[in-house]
Amino acid sequence: MDLLLAYDVATDTPAGRRRLRMVAKACESYGVRVQDSVFDLVVNDHELESLVERLRTIIDRRADNVRIYRLQGGTPVCILGSSRPLSTTRGPLVL
């Protein structure tokens, strides 16, 4: 499924800055960064569940915010400015 993940992590403490790095690293394992705190994800149900559980263990629910939106199509309507390649992988990616 095609998803858009956006997060906002409070970084006013060293612990917050550490959480920010951990959230970014977790998201990089599942998708492509398209903005500083926004990722394009192409995942199956199991991968999504795994990512959500991983993020649950990282964030501070009182200070941080993670949102995941379902996208209806894999192609963006419009991209303005510099563009990063979006994931089109529907299966395992072997490098």
Per-residue pLDDT tens over the stretch 5-32: 999 999 999 999 999 999 999 999 999 9
**Domains: count for the chain:** 1
| Whether pLDDT at 76 is above 90 | no
- The letter for the amino acid at 53 is E
CA distance 20 to 7: 9
80 in any annotated domain? no
81 in any annotated domain? no
For 95, the token pair is 């490098």
| Whether pLDDT at 61 is above 70 | yes
Stretch 52-62: mean pLDDT, rounded?
A: 93
93 in any annotated domain? no
41 in any annotated domain? yes
16 in any annotated domain? yes
Q: What is the CATH number of the domain that holds 27?
A: 3.30.70.240
Per the CB < 8 A criterion, the answer to whether 49 and 13 are in contact is no
